[in-house]
Structures are given as C-alpha cells and as structure tokens.
Structure 1
Amino acid sequence: MAYCAIAVIVVLMSCFFNRFRPLGKMLVIIALLLPQLSKAQKTVAPLVLNNEQLPVLPKEFYVAAVTDERDDRSAVAWLLPTTEATSITPQYKVDIKYGAQAAIKQFVNYAIPPDKALRPVIVRIKKLKLAESLLAGGRVEGKMEVALSFDLKRAYDNVHLIDYRTSSIYNRIEGQQYDVETLLRHTLEAGLIYFNTWINREADTNIKLAKGVKLIFTDYTEQPEGDTIYYSAKRPLRWEDFKAVPIGGKYEASVLPSIGYNERVEIINGIVNIHLAIKTYLPKSASWVRNGSSTNYSLNHEQRHFDIVKIIAERFKQKLMSEKLPVDNYDGYINVDYLEAFREMNIMQDQYDNETSHGTNSYAQQQWNEKIDKELGK
C-alpha cells in the first residue's frame, strides 16, 4: 500500500509540475524516502540464507538429510513492523525462501561439504521460531528459539544421538530493523559446531557411533573350583564329582552338562570389543551314579556327554566368527546363534544316547569315542 500511495503522489506531482515548479522539490523528497520505505519492506520478503562454510571441517560426519518436524511450518519469523506499534499491532510472517527444509539443507551442504566416507547424520528441525513482542517505552523484543535433533542414519532404524536447544533475545527500537538472517544463520552454525564438538569427543567411545564389531573369546573358569566344573582337557570327570542322589530309572549314571556365556563390552577406537567368556559346564550337584556302577567304561560314557557340549561350544564360536555382526544389533545375532547351539547340543546328546543305547552298545560307543576325539582335535 505504501508503494501505491507513493505512485499516486508521483503521478499527481508530474501532472502539475509545469504549473507549480516548487513541487519539484517535493518529488526529490519523496525520491529520498523511497530507499527507507524499501528497506522497511525487506523483511517482508522471504529470507535468503547466505552460504558460508563452518570455521572447522567435520571429520566424523556429514549431513545426509534435513527433515522439518515443526508443529507450525508456515514461517520462521513473526515480526512487528518497523513503524510505530501498539499492543494490538499484528505480527507479520516471514519464511525462508524455498521453505525451511530445502533452504537449510542447501545451507548445511555448503557449510559442511558432504564427505560420504564419513557417518551419515540426519538433522531434524524440531523448533525454529523468531517472535517479536512490544515492550514498554516503544522498544521491541525478539526471541529466537531453536531445537535440533541429530540422528545417525542406519539401513533400518536410525539411532538418536543428541539434541541441541538454544534461545537468544535481542532488543530494538521502533523504526529500526534487526538483521534476522544473520541471527538465524549464526544460530544454525552454532548448532552444527556444537554437534561437531560432541561427535569428535564421543566418536571413539560411544557405542552409538561404533564403526565395527570385534569378538574376543575366552573359556570361562573359576578358581578355586566349586560345585560347577568348567570344561578343561586337563580336568576330566572323576567319580567323586557325582554328588547327587540317584533317581529312579534303568541308567547307571547321569550328568547334566550345558553351555552358556558371559558378555563384557568395551569401545576402543570406535570398535565394539565383545568379550565372550564361553561356559561349558557341569554341576556336580546334578550328577549321580548308582552303587556298583562306578566303572571306567561308564565314566567314559558320561565324559563324552561333557565332550559333546565342548564341541557345540566351539561350533558356536565359529558360527559367530563367520558372521558380520552389525554394531546396532550384535546381541540379537549372538542370542540367535546361542539358542541354535543349545538346540544342536540337545539333538546331539539325544543322538549319542540313542545310538550307543546309553552306553550299553560298546561298538557304537567306540565309534562315538573316535568321532568325538576327531572333533575335539580340530
């Protein structure tokens, strides 16, 4: 409307210029006012973010995507006019040219040239708002609020890393404009620098940022030995290990060996080091032998049950070593392989007892002895 009024005045002055030459001075005055009026309208136009690179070059990440998740995406600024305002003066909206998501992605790509050899990060805009309000004495207060979330991009589920929230306040007098673009640009840059500092500090030790997985196996043991025997080639079963009272049935002896593991995780230089202490164990309190059945032949049969569990434990290790464990779900793979090993252990134990008729078939027992020794020799 200001431009329309000025245009009308210019036309009227032109019509009467020849009759009233002093009015030429008025035209000059109006011409001098035009730049100020134009300046007053600059913030009405969409904001254009000026591109500039960050003062530091990130070495741990690049921005793969920017998403706009604000509740109100209609604008980024709600401003009061630079003319005299009252308590009922309405704010007017100003948005970023091309929209916040596209413009900020372009701005970020220039600030941080994408290096796709680094970790892909998604910047989620949760809040981005500048609102001006009228203060006493004819002053105007502006408050900028920004909330960003940074996620690590994964093939399936992205991993949330950290949030960045900040606010800043400025004051201006009526008739004076504030450089909204510079405030917005510097606030976004501060958020990127904050995240860069955080990821540099966390890169080598934060499991969310790990780049790979390394398995380290040991055989679990306890000293001194208690009720539980942990498998060792140097520690075969002895009849004095059979502590339980015999139960009903036709068998001469029984053991209950099993498999388990303890897990300890540490992050070293961005690699998840998984220490798995494999437990091949047999509880004495669950092992029994009938009176008169404590022969070397029977003890060998029970020892082979323990040996079978050791074989399964080694297969469990080999299966894990053959897989590429993902850093975001390595425990899922370990658990699945463990359950599969446990199932295989039970199948093999049943097969051993069935084929040897629980040790009463000496020929089948000898075949299993050789088969087990061959497996253990690997």
Structure 2
Amino acid sequence: MLTSLTLNLFLLLLNLLRPASEVPLVLRPVAPGFGPALFSITAVRDERPGRPAVALLLPATAAAGTTTAAQPVELRNGTAAALQQFATATLPAATTGRYPITLRALDLQVRETPGPNGAANGTIALHMAFEWRNAEGRTSTLTEYRGAARYGRTRANRAVVETALSQAVLGGLRHFNGWLTTAAAHDIRLATAVQPTFRYDIRQTEPDTLFYDPARPLAWADFTGMPRSKGQYAAAVFPSFGYRTRPRVSQGVVVLDIELQVYVVRTSSWVAEGQRTAYNLNHEQRHFDIVRLVAERFRRKVGPDSLTVADYQSILGWQYLDSFREMNRLQDQYDRETSGGTDATAQNRWNQRIATELRGFGVIK
C-alpha cells in the first residue's frame, strides 16, 4: 500500500515525464483596413467536425533524440470565444453594424511541417459562413468564405503563427463586408421592410380593353358585344380589376411597384336596341366606379405595416382575393337595390354614395 508521501512523489515524477502542454495561441486585433463595417459579429458557433485543436505546431526545440512531431495547440479561451473577441476588437468601432451576424466556423486549422535548417513551414485553411436572422425571425446563410495562407518561421518565434492566423481571419471579415456592400443593394434576403408603391394603368391603346380613367368615362361605343335578345337588363358591363408587381431591393427595403388595372372588356359589354340613354349609361358607369372603389380599398389594405419580406406576395394575393369577393358582393347589392337600374330613387342614392367615396379617395374632385 502506497503511503501519502510515496503517492505524491509518484505523481510529481509522472508530471515531469509528461510533455509540457503548449501555450494557447492568441488572435490579436489588427487594423481592419476597411470601413465602415456594415455588420457586427454577435455570435460565433464552432461547427468544425469533431472540434480538434486548431493548430498542430512543431515544438520550439528539436534537440537530438527528441520528437519532432507537431503538437496540438488551441486558441486561448477556445475557438468560438477567440473568434468572437477578435471580431469585436478588430471591426471598426465607429458603427455597431446594421446587420447582426452569426459567424459559423466550419474549418480552421494550422498545420506545420519541418523546413530547412530547423525552421517550420505552416499552412492555414479557413472556412467560415455568415448567417443573419432578420427582424421577422427568418435565418439565412448569406455567404461563405474559404481562405488559405502559408508562412515560415523559426521554431522559437510563435508570434508569426498568431499574426498569420489573425490576418487569415481578417481576410474573411473583409471579404464579407465587401460582399455585403454589394449585396445590400439587390439581395432580397437582406431586406428588412417592404414599401409598396401604386399606380393605375390608364392606357387607352388596347382595342378590346378600356382601363379606368376618371377623365375618360364609359361611352356607348365601348359596348361592342352582341346584345341579348331577351332579359331584364337594358345593358350589361362586366368590369374587373387585377394587379402586376415588380419588386426591387433598395438599401435593405423591398420596393414593391404595384400596377393596378381596373378595366372593362368591350366585347363582353352590350346594350340592347333602343336603350342607349344617358340614364342607362350612368347605371353601367357606376358598376365601373364600384370596381375602382374596391381597388382603392385594396390599396389601403396592403400598406407597409401589413407586408412582410418573407410573405409579401402571398399576403398581397390573399388581400386581392378578399377584395375580389368584396367587388362581387357590392355589384350584386347594387343591382339588387336599384332593380338593375329601374328604381330611380335607389339609383340616385347609389349615385351619391359612389360619388362621395370617389371624392374621399381623391379619384374625382
């Protein structure tokens, strides 16, 4: 049975025989050489397979009879913390960065082999990914960076390793800032908001399509369809509306140009013989006006606060379908309450109601 003194002597001897652990490498802040930084590194994840020691360095001395095998060396405080501290200290401090970025370390390794006259030759391999989570909670890996470097050193001078490694990491940060500077102007993943803009198609160049223009109301010449021989209506018009979008990204905002089309198809519109009166034409014009009112309400449903970067097209489509159903309900209500235009009193009420709403939206004065 070992005594306490014997055990202590045994442990001391064991520690003396064990190779001394290598002092960790330090990533030291360097002058960034660019600015301002459009981003900040708010988190680092070490995703290297197996998370081995970052470096395999040759020992400082290679005396006769001693091993020349490279020894594992870590970064001080661990890989993730070291990269985080380096980025925080190195990136220009004049800005906090518009984009908070998570840096994913996919590969980071330093490997040394013996060189002439007892020197060490080193290679550095680096693979990083830059991830961003926008305000809507959507996470995107924006881009990746692969870098490599070589160096040579005397075995006693480990500062060369730290300098070369720091410069390699800086190269990744510099590359990402350059990428971000260019991509922010057009990459929709970097957008933080949606700003819709609207305009109406008022062309009068289509032979069969009349687009709504307050300055160009319906005329009987627009009713080119074959009239029905029987029925309760003196005339019929079938207005509708649609939209076209053209998204573009400008300074982190999706500018959504929306062209609204309120229209009547001439060949689907008809008037019975002997019914080309001003009263009947007014009734059909109000059908057209109702669609314009619905389009104006649709505009106000899809403001900046209602659209998200991730789903603005689906939100726009859903609101359009809802407005389309509203249009059909109003058209049916209008014909039902005016008895297809034959109830002059009800027609007058609808005339006033529609005109008031058109003025409220600024469509007419």
Q: How many angstroms apart in 1 are the aligned matches of 2:15 and 2:56?
A: 27
Contact 2:36 2:94 in 1 (8 A): no
Q: Which amino acid counterpart does residue 275 of structure 1 have in structure 2? A: D
* Equivalence for 1:32: none
State which of 56, 71, 76 in structure 1 corresponds to 2:49.
71
Partner SS, residue 354 of structure 1: helix
> Post-superposition shift, 1:66?
1.8
TM-score, with length taken from structure 2: 0.78
Change (3 A) 1:93 1:6: closer
Q: More displaced, 50-59 or 146-155? A: 50-59
Q: What percent of counterpart residues are identical?
A: 37
Contact 2:58 2:155 in 1 (8 A): no
* Equivalence for 1:163: 144
Change (3 A) 1:247 1:139: farther
* Equivalence for 2:207: 226
State which of 174, 179, 185 in structure 1 corresponds to 2:166.
185
Q: Which amino acid counterpart does residue 64 of structure 1 have in structure 2? A: T
CA deviations 1:305-346 (Å, max 9, x no partner) are: 110010011112223346364445443443333232222222
Please tell me the root mean square deviation across aligned C-alpha atoms, in Å: 3.6
> Post-superposition shift, 1:259?
1.3
1:153 is the counterpart of 2:133: yes
* Equivalence for 2:75: 96
Q: How many angstroms apart in 2 are the aligned matches of 1:362 and 1:7?
A: 110
Change (3 A) 1:308 1:132: same
> Post-superposition shift, 1:371?
0.8
Query: What stretches of structure 2 of length at least 5 have no aligned partner?
Result: 1-11, 361-365
* Equivalence for 2:24: 46
Q: More displaced, 122-131 or 324-333? A: 324-333
CA deviations 1:133-190 (Å, max 9, x no partner) are: 5799998654322122223331310233322111123456889868432222111111
Q: Number of residue pairs matched?
A: 342
Q: Which amino acid counterpart does residue 184 of structure 1 have in structure 2? A: L
* Equivalence for 2:354: 372
Change (3 A) 1:313 1:80: same
Change (3 A) 1:104 1:295: same
Q: More displaced, 364-373 or 213-222? A: 213-222
Query: What stretches of structure 1 of length at least 5 have no aligned partner?
Result: 9-37
* Equivalence for 1:346: 328
Q: How many angstroms apart in 2 are the aligned matches of 1:182 and 1:237?
A: 78
Q: More displaced, 248-257 or 358-367? A: 248-257
* Equivalence for 2:98: 118
1:318 is the counterpart of 2:305: no
CA deviations 1:222-266 (Å, max 9, x no partner) are: 242321110011222122222333468734232221111222334
- The correspondence of residues 193-204 of structure 1 with structure 2, limited to 5 A, is 193-204=174-185
> Post-superposition shift, 1:62?
1.8
1:255 is the counterpart of 2:237: yes
1:274 is the counterpart of 2:256: yes
* Equivalence for 1:144: 124
Larger of the two Rg values belongs to structure: 1
Change (3 A) 1:168 1:358: same
TM-score, with length taken from structure 1: 0.76
> Post-superposition shift, 1:71?
2.3
